[in-house]
Structure 1
Amino acid sequence: MTGSAATPSFRLAYVPGVTPGKWARIWHERLPGTPLELVAVPAAEASRVLRDGDADAAFVRLPVDRTVFSAIPLYTETTVVMVPKDHVVTAVEEVSCADLAEETVLHPLDDVLDWERPPGEPAFERPATTDDAVELVAAGIGVLVVPQSVARLHHRRDLTYRPVVDAPQSGVALSWLEDATTDQVEDLIGIVRGRTPNSTRGRDKPASESGSDRKRTEKGTPTPRKTAGQGSRGGAGRTGGGRSGSAGAPKGTRRSKPRRRS
């Protein structure tokens, strides 16, 4: 006895700092018959995961190779500097890169900010990962500039952060292989773009049933004029049933009352 084949799942990868929970919840509500599998991947591995088919789509950090991938930018993050809670930076609400000129600014190998060299003094050695750099910040060895969501991901009681107003920013996008735009990818696009459950993708909706066509039919198309053979509200088109004695009276005239005989 053989069981029925399991329903294929849709694999959605996401990089550190991105929280796909809201979109996953909407997916489960709208597409209960298609399981959604969330796959956490390092930012540097997102492109490879898509190329190798290990994920159907991914929330990635820009930029991506647009000759291979399609991408829908979703939002751009604030950049912050992570410091110990007793650091002098905590005395202000925000800082500039110039304010970090005398700081040892850690530059991990998996850094997602698009700059050739961070401000401040470089560390003796670049940390291998952002996780390692956070540990060094906690040890008082330096500070770390990252997207705000990454700072929140690595929240610790002994660390805090402040915005860096003139640092490069990191954009987050939904991405997938350009030649693999499946129906499920289209469904996900609708979810992240905020389409309602009743919305229909343009490629599925016949032109005659689209909202714009209905609007033109209802408001833009003149009502055809009826001919004498089709009938109308006027007396010319009626066959019987009219009031006797009043059909020929001019509009607006009044009949006088008969005088009472004495």
Structure 2
Amino acid sequence: MPQETRLEPIRLGFVRGVAPSKWAERWQRASTQVLELVPVSLGEVEAARTSVDVLLERTLPGETPPGTDPAQQVRHAVRLYEEQVALVIDAGHELASQKSLTVEELALVRLLDHPDHGKSWPAAEPWSDPSWMPKNAQMTLELVSTGTGAALMSQPLAQHLSKKREHAVLTVAAHGKTSLDGSSIWATWQRERDRDDVQQLIGFLRGRTARSSR
């Protein structure tokens, strides 16, 4: 009898704050091909774009993933869902006992500028020396824990990186017509990797609509 062809595992990378387990379980039930989940740390996103078959990555509101501009496209991209925005404050802050706050209440805190602060969000206080700006979300939360200020960022990312003894994570709730656009999670992959198995995986990922929120 002819031997069954064994497919190479398909590698799905995911950035911090993204939970791919449900997709992986669905894939396992439907396919004999192994799905390898590859966690991607804050400093590894650029390298992951070429080391995995499909990458689940985050962009700020209104932005698209690198390499997907139609004029110079080297990657395909599908937007999966929008994330909730959260405010992270130090655990000793007077607002730390709250679970949420409104956009208007953000005026009560000093917002730190950092790379994950959306341009459409309330303005953060600029650094007198730009070199003092934290390089990533982890460094931002380290500053927040000292009581220096507060930070707006993706709620799943904030919950993933924060420490209960040092931080409080408050949902920024919509109040009337005032709300904040959240970060987006995309599935992206290199054009040369646009194979049948990648397309099948993208179909599984798109089971969550672009309008779904977390």
Q: Are residue 170 (structure 1) and residue 183 (structure 2) matched?
A: yes
| d(CA) in 1 for partners of 2:194, 2:24 | 19
Relative contact order higher in (CA < 8 Å, ≥ 6 apart)? 2
Shift of the alpha carbon at 1:87?
2.0
- Name the larger-Rg structure: 1
Shift of the alpha carbon at 1:15?
1.2
Unmatched tracts of structure 2, length 5 or more: 209-214
Which amino acid in the other structure matches residue 177 of structure 1? Q
Contact 1:77 1:171 in 2 (8 A): yes
| d(CA) in 2 for partners of 1:91, 1:152 | 16
- Corresponding residue number in structure 2 for 1:27: 27
| d(CA) in 2 for partners of 1:186, 1:15 | 20
| d(CA) in 1 for partners of 2:151, 2:57 | 21
- Corresponding residue number in structure 1 for 2:118: 114
| d(CA) in 2 for partners of 1:194, 1:168 | 22
| d(CA) in 2 for partners of 1:173, 1:43 | 16
* Structure 1 outlier segments of 4+, above 4 Å: 42-45
| d(CA) in 1 for partners of 2:20, 2:90 | 29
Shift of the alpha carbon at 1:146?
0.7
Cα 1:167–1:122, aligned 2, differ >3 Å: closer, same or farther? farther
Cα 1:46–1:157, aligned 2, differ >3 Å: closer, same or farther? closer
Q: Are residue 156 (structure 1) and residue 163 (structure 2) matched?
A: yes
| d(CA) in 1 for partners of 2:77, 2:152 | 25
* Percent pairwise identity: 26
**Count of residue pairs brought into register by the alignment:** 185
Shift of the alpha carbon at 1:45?
5.1
- Corresponding residue number in structure 1 for 2:211: none
Unmatched tracts of structure 1, length 5 or more: 196-262
Which amino acid in the other structure matches residue 156 of structure 2? S
Secondary structure in 2 matching 1:8: coil
Contact 1:102 1:120 in 2 (8 A): no
Q: Are residue 59 (structure 1) and residue 56 (structure 2) matched?
A: yes
Q: Are residue 11 (structure 1) and residue 11 (structure 2) matched?
A: yes
| d(CA) in 2 for partners of 1:22, 1:91 | 32
Contact 2:91 2:145 in 1 (8 A): no
Q: Are residue 144 (structure 1) and residue 151 (structure 2) matched?
A: yes
Which amino acid in the other structure matches residue 77 of structure 1? E
Q: Are residue 103 (structure 1) and residue 109 (structure 2) matched?
A: yes
Cα 1:133–1:47, aligned 2, differ >3 Å: closer, same or farther? closer
Shift of the alpha carbon at 1:148?
0.7
Contact 2:10 2:34 in 1 (8 A): yes
Shift of the alpha carbon at 1:179?
4.2
- Corresponding residue number in structure 2 for 1:183: 196
Which amino acid in the other structure matches residue 147 of structure 1? S
Residue deviations 1:38-94, cap 9 Å, x none? 2222467545533xx311111112412242222222111111100123423346532
| d(CA) in 2 for partners of 1:7, 1:189 | 17
Q: What is the TM-score when the length of structure 2 is the normalising length?
A: 0.72
In structure 1, which of residues 69, 80, 103 is the aligned counterpart of residue 86 of structure 2? 80
Q: Are residue 126 (structure 1) and residue 123 (structure 2) matched?
A: no
Q: Give the superposed CA RMSD.
A: 2.9
Contact 2:16 2:41 in 1 (8 A): yes
Residue deviations 1:115-162, cap 9 Å, x none? 178534335521122111111211212111111101110242232222
| d(CA) in 1 for partners of 2:203, 2:108 | 47
Which amino acid in the other structure matches residue 108 of structure 1? H
